[in-house]
Structure 1
Amino acid sequence: MRHTLGIDVGTFETKGVIADADGRIVAQAARPHRMLVPQPGWAEHRPDEDWWGDFVHVTRTMLAESRIDPRSIRAVAASAIGPCMLPVDAGGRALMNGVLYGVDTRAAREIEELNALAGADRILARCGNTLTSQSVGPKILWTRNQRPEVFARTATFMTSTSFLVMKLTGRRVIDHYTASNATPFYDVAALDWCFDLAPDVVRREQMPELMWSTEIAGHVTAAAAAETGLAEGTPVTCGTIDAAAEAVSVGVLEPGEMMMMYGSTIFIIMPTEGRVADSRLWHAPWLFPGRSAAMAGLATSGTLTHWFRDQFARDLDPETAFAALAEEAQASPPGARGLIVLPYFSGERTPIHDPDAKGVIFGLNLTHTRGDVYRAVIEGIALGTAHVIDTFREAGAPPRAIRAVGGGTKNALWAQATSDACQVTQSLCAKSIGASYGNAFLAALAVGDVKPDDIRRWNPVEGEIVPDPAVADLHAGRNRIFRDLYARTKTLMAQ
């Protein structure tokens, strides 16, 4: 038998899948971990425990439970939350906790410093992206400014995925899709590192080697085999960011096909014919040569529902709290009886790119219930998503098909509110496992066991979520208030 192994490290959980050549799942495993918030605006993981430790645990669990011969695994592909920033020394040791993606807003001053140095317009023209909390470049500069002793010992600035690949193979590599988030140190036209926009910040030798996602980066070393249970010599792909692997898992292949990932954050990817030059969205080379992608993401979505549960549903069993909250929210009508939530509890990424944005619960009165507020939280995430979808339309890149994926799709209230607020139909595939399953497919693609279109056979569409025409006018009005509410409070938020 031929198998491939896919691992994905998410914000709160690591998941693994072993699949056979026809896409059947042979084994699955998961392990939770925490996002550390040592101070407001920071978000971190422990690389040895949360990234590599989880990889080892999940892989060993699947091998033990499936009892397959590790030598039958043709290739391994990993993805992880990103873009992250992790300095490692010459021996491959992490020098600090991994700094997470756009939910970590610590480098706001460095964004200003780099924009002043290189010019925002020049950065956008060369790098395809403006500097935001999603950008890795300012976080590298933050390390130089705030942790000079760490910076002096740094041999390579890595991401979560490249750290895993290094632990498996000894190679220090990064895929082009992930590297494009290293603004202002990646040139999207040249598909190469660039350092002239901000000289004397980081050296070329401190950045990983660039590759495409399905290129074989190396092979499992003897040391990694002893830790993971994998066979020494197993091919390992370069890997990518979790959201890209998640898009692949639901068959997002062609321009105009959009993936909407419901997770700790909402993340959106749409392959495009060429670059969508709009500063409100992100741009990257896609996973394969000759393709581009436009991306967007909210800073808080699933994390916001977790916050609400932990702070306002302490009377409920944590294992069943979400189901109970959903039942309370269903008793509240669409529109949450006049409540509107700005879901900017960790600042916001697209389309406003505002690390100073704050969460707002607007319109409260003494008759509102917990169910009303929870419904408003869900609908606030949906209204933020509608703002993104409208931005794609305004940028001349409207989606022609949307595939929904991720744990949040099991929340019927959230999924329906999103279709209603965005006025779009979302397709659901047979398997909603997400990035780990996409990685298993990408591993099979890397060794020639499948062709790109085979993902539609691995994971066919089997359902859809259609917008309710009865609430179209309601949500159109709420979209206007949502955006006006932010515009009117933006300066107060910064203050």
Structure 2
Amino acid sequence: MCYTLGIDIGTYETKGVLVDEGGQVIAQARRAHKMLVPQPGWAEHDPEQDWWGDFCVVSQELLQQSGIDPIDILAVACSAIGPCMLPVDAQGNPLMNGVLYGVDARAEREVCELTERIGEEVILSRCGNALTSQSVGPKILWLKRNRTDLYQQTARILTSTSFLVYRLTGRYVIDHYTAANFSPLYDVSTQSWIEDLADDIVDLEKLPELLWSTDIAGYVSKSAAQGTGLAEGTPVTAGTIDAAAEAVSVGVNAPGDMMAMYGSTIFIILRTAQRVSDPRLWYAPWLFEGEHASMAGLATSGTLTHWFRDQFAKDLDSEEAFSLLALEAQDSPPGAKGLLLLPYFSGERTPIHDANAKGSFFGLNLTHTRGDMYRALIEGIAYGTRHVTDTFSEIGHPPHRLLAVGGGTKNAVWLQATSDICGLRQEVRKNTVGASYGDAFLAALAIGRVKRSDIEHWNPIAADICANADLRYDHNFQIFRDLYDATKAIMKRL
């Protein structure tokens, strides 16, 4: 029997799976870590401990659990949160913590300055995306300006997956899907690095080599084999961002397929027949040459449920807290008795792109319970999700099929509220492991052991979540929109 291995580094947890040729999960492992928030608006990981350290521990645990000979693992693929910004020295050693994706808004000044200097229309035309907190280019410029000593030592600028692949193979690479988030340094038409838009940001030789996600980047080195337990010489793919691997795991394949990833953030990927250009959304070449994807993401989602548990459910056992809170929310009626939440606890990404947006409960009164507040929190995330799906519909790209994945799919209240508020049916696959499972499939695809359509057999549909019409949700969604519009100027003053 032959196997493929997939490991994904998430915001709060690393997960890994070992999968056989038919998609059966042979072993699973996970390891928790923390998102570091050194000051408001910043978000970081320790790359040695949280990225490479987790990868080694999870890989070894998978091998120990399964008892298989590492030589029987035919290929390895990894994914990670992203896009991230990590400067490394000439030996590939990190010079600072990894700066995370759009939840980190430290480069707001650079975003505004570059947008004004280059022009929003030019950036959108050349790069496919407006500059936002998701863009890596402004964060590199922030590094150059604010950590001059570190920038002078920088040999390469990597994302999280690039760092992992380098540690595994000794080669600096990045997939096109991730690279499209390095605006204004990536041209979506030529699918290459560019410097004429902002040559003062970084020398292009500091950026990784561009590959497609299923290209073989290299082979497990002797030192990596010692750290991970994998066999020296095992093929390693170029990898990708976790959300893309999640989308693969649930069968996002044809134009009109949309994934909603219920993780630390809600992240949405829609496969499109052609390039979609809208400043409220993100664009990237899909994982396979000649294909396209449009993306959106909230800034805080699952992160909010963790925050609520830690602040308001200290009386509950941490292992059971989420299931007990879900039961309390189930006792609260749709609409949470008139209570609304704006889920902008770390600014907001799509579609408003406002780093100054603030979170709030609105409408509290003395009758509200913890269950009402938790339901309002879940519904607030769902209203933010509807704001995104409505935006796709407005530009003529409504989803034909919505596929749900991620840890949040275990929360039935959250799933149902999302379908009801968005007015969309959701499909949930049998296997909701997520990105690491998608990685294992991409590894098998890279070496020719499966076809893309085989994911339907690997991971069949297990449940349909149908939308229930409720006028309270339509009414409250309009209030949700109006509340932000009415308070965004005040938010900026706080």
TM range, smaller chain? over 0.9
Partner of 2:343: 343
- The partner residue of 1:482 within 473, 476, 480 is 480
Shift in Å, 1:474? 1.2
**Which letter does structure 2 place at the counterpart of 1:423?**
G
Q: Number of paired residues?
A: 493
Q: Which runs of no fewer than 5 residues in structure 2 stay unpaired?
A: none
Q: Which moved more, 1:320-329 or 1:173-182?
A: 320-329
What SS does structure 2 have at the residue aligned with 1:439?
helix
Q: Root-mean-square deviation (CA), in Å?
A: 0.6
Partner of 2:46: 46
What SS does structure 1 have at the residue aligned with 2:83?
coil
Please list the CA deviations of residues 223-282 of structure 1 after superposition, one character each: whole Å capped at 9, or x if unmatched: 100111100000000000000000000011000000110000000001111111111110
Q: Where do 1:454-473 residues align within 5 Å?
A: 454-469=454-469, 471=470, 473=471
Q: Is 1:327–2:319 an aligned residue pair?
A: no
Shift in Å, 1:24? 0.7
Shift in Å, 1:321? 1.2
Q: Which moved more, 1:323-332 or 1:411-420?
A: 323-332
Shift in Å, 1:328? 1.4
Distance 1:318 1:60 in 2: 27
Identical-pair percentage: 65
**Which letter does structure 1 place at the counterpart of 2:472?**
L
Shift in Å, 1:353? 0.4
Please list the CA deviations of residues 113-165 of structure 1 after superposition, one character each: whole Å capped at 9, or x if unmatched: 21122111111110000010111111101100110011111111000000000
**Which letter does structure 2 place at the counterpart of 1:180?**
A
Shift in Å, 1:201? 1.5
Distance 1:371 1:463 in 2: 26
Partner of 1:404: 404
Partner of 1:194: 194
What SS does structure 2 have at the residue aligned with 1:372?
helix
Distance 2:87 2:356 in 1: 26
Q: Where do 1:76-475 residues align within 5 Å?
A: 76-469=76-469, 471=470, 473-475=471-473
User: Contact 2:137/2:201 (CA < 8 Å) preserved in 1?
Assistant: no
Shift in Å, 1:294? 0.4
What SS does structure 1 have at the residue aligned with 2:168?
helix
Distance 1:151 1:453 in 2: 44
Partner of 2:490: 492
**Which letter does structure 1 place at the counterpart of 2:281?**
L
Q: Which moved more, 1:120-129 or 1:163-172?
A: 120-129
Q: Which moved more, 1:196-205 or 1:439-448?
A: 196-205
Shift in Å, 1:381? 0.3
Shift in Å, 1:313? 1.0
Distance 2:201 2:102 in 1: 21
Length-normalised TM-score, structure 2: 0.99
Distance 2:327 2:444 in 1: 41
Distance 1:315 1:454 in 2: 46
Shift in Å, 1:93? 0.1
Partner of 2:20: 20
Distance 1:22 1:373 in 2: 44
Q: Which runs of no fewer than 5 residues in structure 1 stay unpaired?
A: none
Length-normalised TM-score, structure 1: 0.99
**Which letter does structure 2 place at the counterpart of 1:356?**
N
What SS does structure 1 have at the residue aligned with 2:488?
helix
Distance 1:324 1:68 in 2: 38
Distance 2:252 2:328 in 1: 35
**Which letter does structure 1 place at the counterpart of 2:228?**
T
Runs of 4+ in 1 over 4 A off after TM superposition: none
